[in-house]
Amino acid sequence: MSETVIDQKSASALAGELRRSFSGELLVGGQPGYNDARTIWNAMVDKKPTVIAGCVTTDDVVASVKLARHHGLQVSVRCGGHGVTGKALADGGLTIDLTRMRGVRVSPDNKTASVQGGCLLGDVDAATAQHGMIVPAGIVSETGVGGLALGGGIGWFSRKYGLTCDNFLSLKLVTASGEVVTASETEHPDLFWALHGGGGNFGAVTEFEFKAHKFGPEMRIGIALHHPEDAVQALAEYAQIYPELPDHVGWHAALKQSMPGLPFVPEPLRGKRLLLMIVMYLADSKEEEGERLVERLIAVGKPAAKAMTVMPFGARVQKLLDPEFPNGNRYYTKEAHINELPEEALETLVSRWGEMKMSGEIEIIGLGGAMARVSPDATAFANRHHNWWLNFALHWDDAELDASNIAQIRSANDALKPWLGTGVYPNMLNFDEADRLID
């Protein structure tokens, strides 16, 4: 489809044309609500769609796609608007905004959850928790399900239940021609394969049907905090132990720029630069094995503080990181898969962390388990064999710092290249990394 840029007067006419077959809300520049509707998580993104189509039905999406196709407009789809690249918005094009489509239906008997395309993770967590169930998803509750799932979906439960996309049963979507199709193992199987980690390139998904799993609603977690001078030792022990853990244990590490005031963080350590290590027991929180395992893992290294607790997953655990990644900051990420964490790599990582002044964290997310047992060619998400995913998830609020901060993040990532694996996690690619899709 060729792309056309429409002037303001024509934009209003275009919206008027769409309105004849549209039941949602249409916004163009200058209207109340337009600027709010084009504001997304990453303040570095400043795009101005010609029309924002606030859809409430699949038919609205069909009408939007057909209108854009007829007029040669670029199309984007907004679910949560939580992506770092800003692909949710079509600059000068038509943005299909699904944020009004946030219904969730859970069937405990069938162990399924039907999720509309505009849902956030928190919407799904709230609905499934009522039935003592979960859908495996990400680690920040304000993330949109659509973008996360179509790009793969790494999260708390990846070791036990696989990626979010590994739990697809079917997807209803509107293709570029405006046709409504259902993709599953038996219908459009090639499309179903591509939607497992291939990103939002194949249509606008208006409904997902997921496998839902019995869990909780409570989770046993443990946390350990380490001073910077003890971080290398703790991470080295972590790197030795982690690959041997059972699937029902997750263990992540984060080099925090400033430790937030979470309930289990002692007052003297709040606001300090610390290594956080968090253990999740992904089975019954009452099991004695869980208590023993978590206690052993949080004692690794020389923790300045450690704690173990049981808390509701959806209402508490899934929301622990939300305050650290607020809407409206300027985000830049660099990510990579990694198989080994030798001491030289850890020393380099910790040293670079100590030089950084921005907010956020450098994450070492533990992979393996169920997600690694899926064949690399079974889905479009092929990078399953790595032990960890490394992510520089950093942000700031001053635009004048963009160039220097981005350069520092890139430099730190480059310093680690001898130990980084191949492949990418498409959900965390930046606007300047399109060429990484093929490495």
- In tens, the pLDDT along 324-349 reads 999 999 999 999 999 999 999 999 99
Cβ atoms of 215 and 76 within 8 Å: the answer is no
Which parts of 144-217 are beta strand (E)? Answer: 168-174, 180-184, 204-211, 213-214
Instruction: Provide the pLDDT for residue 46.
Output: 95
3-class state of residue 430 by DSSP: coil
- Which fold, 218-438? Vanillyl-alcohol Oxidase; Chain A, domain 3 (3.40.462)
Report pLDDT digits (tens) over 293-318: 999 999 999 999 999 999 999 999 99
- Percent of the chain, pLDDT > 90? 90
Q: What is the pTM of this model?
A: 0.94
Nearest to 163 by CA among 426, 432, 436: 426
Element (H, E) at 273: none
Report pLDDT digits (tens) over 144-197: 999 999 999 999 999 999 999 999 999 999 999 999 999 999 999 999 999 999
* Cα separation, 299 vs 289, whole angstroms: 16
Instruction: Provide the pLDDT for residue 437.
Output: 55
Instruction: Provide the pLDDT for residue 6.
Output: 60
Q: Concatenated DSSP letters for 213-254?
A: EE--SEEEEEEEEE-GGGHHHHHHHHHHHGGGS-TTEEEEEE
Going by pLDDT thresholds of 50, 70 and 90, the confidence category of residue 1 is very low
- Domain 8-97's class? alpha beta
Cβ atoms of 16 and 60 within 8 Å: the answer is no
* Cα separation, 174 vs 183, whole angstroms: 11
- Which fold, 104-214? 3.30.465
pLDDT at residue 438 tops 50? no
With b meaning 16 or more CB within 10 Å and e meaning fewer, what string describes 18-43? Answer: beeebebbbbbeeeeebeebbebbbb
* Cα separation, 246 vs 44, whole angstroms: 40
Q: What are phi and psi of 314, to 5 degrees?
A: -65, -40
Instruction: Provide the pLDDT for residue 436.
Output: 60
Report pLDDT digits (tens) over 352-407: 999 999 999 999 999 999 999 999 999 999 889 999 999 999 999 999 999 999 99
**So where are the chain's domains?**
8-97, 104-214, 218-438
